[in-house]
Structure 1
Amino acid sequence: MTGTTTHLEPRTRTRTERPKLYKVILLNDDFTPRDFVVKVLKAVFGMSLDEAYTVMLTAHQRGACVVAVYTFEIAETKCARANEMGVSAGFPLTFTSERED
Structure 2
Amino acid sequence: MQTTETKPRVQPVQKVERPKLYKVILVNDDYTPREFVVMVLKAEFRMSEDQAQRVMVTAHQKGACVVAVFTRDVAETKAASATDMAKELGFPLLFTTEPEE
Same fold (TM over 0.5): yes
**Are positions 1:67 and 2:59 aligned together?**
no
Q: 5+ residue gaps in structure 2?
A: none
Matched, 1:34 2:34: yes
> What are the equivalent positions in structure 2 for 1:66-85 lying under 5 Å apart?
66-85=66-85
* 1:50 paired residue number: 50
Which ranges of 4 or more aligned residues in structure 1 deviate by more than 3 Å?
A: 1-11
Question: Which string of whole-angstrom CA distances, capped at 9 and with x for unpartnered residues, describes residues 61-98 of structure 1?
Answer: 00000000000111011011100011011110000000
Superposed CA deviations along residues 33-73 of structure 1, whole A, max 9, x for unmatched, are: 00000000000000000000000000000000000000011
Whichever residue aligns with residue 33 of structure 2, its letter is: P
Letter in 2 for 1:54: R
Bigger mean CA offset, 47-56 vs 4-13: 4-13
How many residues align structurally?
Answer: 101
Q: Following the alignment from structure 1 to structure 2, what is the Cα–Cα distance between the partners of residues 7 and 48?
A: 59
**What's the RMSD between the two structures over aligned residues?**
1.4
In structure 2, distance between residues paired with 1:10 and 1:49: 54
1:10-41: CA deviation from partner (whole Å, max 9, x where unpaired): 54211111011000000000000000000000
Letter in 1 for 2:66: V
What SS class does the counterpart of residue 83 from structure 2 fall into?
A: helix
Matches of 1:61 and 1:11, distance apart in 2: 55
Offset of residue 9 of structure 1: 5.9
Letter in 2 for 1:89: L
Identity among equivalent pairs (%): 59
**Structure 1 gaps, min length 5:** none
